[in-house]
Amino acid sequence: MIVSRRRCPAVFISAPASGHGKTTVTAALARYHAARGRVVQVFKSGPDFIDPMILERASGRPVYQLDLWMGGEAHCRGLLHEAAGTADLILIEGVMGLYDGTPSSADLAQLFGIPVVAVIGAEAMAQTFGAVAYGLAHYSPALPFHGALANRVAGPGHASLAKQGMPAGMRFLGGISRDEAFALPDRHLGLVQADEVADLEQRLSAAAAALDGTELADMPPGIELSAPAADASAAEPERPLAGVRIAVARDRAFSFLYPANLDLLRTLGAELVFFSPLTAAGLPPVHSVYLPGGYPELHLERLSANRGLADALRRHVAAGKPAYAECGGMLYLLESMTDLQGRRASLAGILPGHAIMHARLQSIGYHTAPLPGGRVRGHSFHHSTVATPLTPAAHTERALSDAPGEAIYRHERLVATYFHGYFPSNPRAAAQLFKP
C-alpha cells in the first residue's frame, strides 16, 4: 500500500477531569496563533457539539470530531492527514479526563503520536501540581507527554510553587491566572453557545493574551501524519442523494450539527438548504428535512407561536416525504413541552406526546442505532424525558452498558429519536434517511 505522509505541528489538550479549563485553553491557543496569521485546525475528541462552536470562533475554521469509537481509526487518520495538508497548526481538545472512556483521549493521542499538554486546575494546590502532572504523564508509559500548564493560579507566586513541584525532566508550560475576563459561561448541557455570548470576541482575545510569556504559546513539535494515498483508478464515489434537496434546521434552538455529517450529505450528492424554525414561516422547497438537536426548551414561546412552520412540517410528513429528527428536533415535533421553570408550551404536534425538562441528566453515552438503512454509531445526551403513546420501532444499543437504549420512533418516512447519529460511521444508512 502506498502511504502519503505529511508533517504538521500538533498538540493534544487534555486534563485530569472535566472542569479544569481545556476548552478555554484550547480556544486561547487557537486565537493566539490565528491572530498571528497561522491557519489553525481544531478538532474535538468525543461527541460534543457546544465546545466546537467556541473553538470555531477562536480559530475561524469549522471544528471536526476526532472520535475513535464513532468514526474509527481510518476516518480519524484521514481527517488529521487532510488537516496537515492545509493547516499550520493542529489542536485537539480532549474529552473529560485524559484516561476517561473507552477509547480515551490518551488512546487517541498515543495512536497518532500527538504530544499531550495537561491543563491542570491549580486553584486548590501548590507543589502537588507536579504529582498530578507526573501521574498523567506516566500512567501510560507510551504516552507522548509534552508538558503541563497550571490553570487558574492566584498569581506568579502561585505558579512558581506549582513549577517547584514538577519532577526533573518534565516540562512546566506556565501558569494562567484566574480572570473573569475570559471565563466561559455554562448551562445544563455545557457551555453557552458561542453566538449567545455577546462579548465572546473580547473573551477570546483576553484568553489569548494570557498565554503571552508561557511556553504553551510556543509552536509545538511537528508530527508525521500518514494516510493511504488516493487511488487514481478507484471508481467515482456513489452519490445516492444526487438532486436531493434537504432542509436543515440551524439556529439558536437547533444547532447540534456535526460538520462531518453535513460534509457527507454533500459528498453523497445532496443540496443542503438551511432554515430557522424560530423565524421561517414555512419550509423551503425540498425533498427531505433534517431537524438536529439543540435548545428548543430555551425558545418555547417563539417555537410555539410559529404555526406556519409546524403546519408545513405536518404536510411534509403526511405526504410521505423523508424527515429525520434528533433529540431537540424530536422534542419540537411533540405536542408540548414543560421547561425547567414549569412553563408548558404547545409545539408542532406532529408526534403525540409531551416532553419534560429535568435538572438532572437523564442519559449520556455512546450508542449504535439500527436505522432503516443500517447501523449508525453516535451518542445521546439529554436532560428531558418523553411521555408518548407511540410504540418504538426499535431501540439503540448502548456501547458500554446493557441498560435499555434510546427509543427510535417511525411515522410515515419520519424517523425520530434522542440519538445523535454520526453519519460517516455508515454513509449508506445516512443516505437512506433522506432519500425520497
Half-sphere exposure of 328 (CA within 13 A, CB side): 25
From the list 40, 84, 317, 327, the catalytic residue is 327
Asked whether the domain spanning 245-434 has the same topology as the one spanning 3-228, the reply is yes
How confident is the model over 220-268, as pLDDT tens digits? 989 999 888 766 555 667 899 999 999 999 999 999 999 999 999 999 9
Query: Taking all residues of the chain, what is their mean pLDDT, rounded to a whole number?
Result: 94
How confident is the model over 187-212, as pLDDT tens digits? 555 556 767 777 888 999 999 999 99
Mapped onto helix, strand or coil, the DSSP state of residue 137 is: helix
Residues of the chain with pLDDT under 70: 1, 182, 185-192, 194, 230-236
- Please tell me the predicted confidence (pLDDT) of residue 194: 62
Contacts of 67 (CB under 8 A, 6+ apart): 45, 46, 47, 76, 422
- Please tell me the predicted confidence (pLDDT) of residue 52: 94
% of the chain at pLDDT higher than 90? 88
Mapped onto helix, strand or coil, the DSSP state of residue 352 is: coil
Q: Which CATH superfamily hosts domain 245-434?
A: Class I glutamine amidotransferase (GATase) domain (3.40.50.880)
CATH 3.40.50.300 fits 3-228, yes or no: yes
Q: Could you give the residue ranges of the DSSP H alpha helices within 38-152?
A: 50-59, 68-71, 73-84, 105-112, 128-138
- Please tell me the predicted confidence (pLDDT) of residue 401: 86
- Please tell me the predicted confidence (pLDDT) of residue 317: 98
Q: What is the pTM of this model?
A: 0.94
Sketch the domain layout of the chain as residue ranges.
3-228, 245-434
Question: What sign results for the dihedral spanned by CA atoms 356, 359, 363, 364?
Answer: positive
- CA distance between the termini of the chain: 38
Is 76 labeled as catalytic in the residue annotation?
no
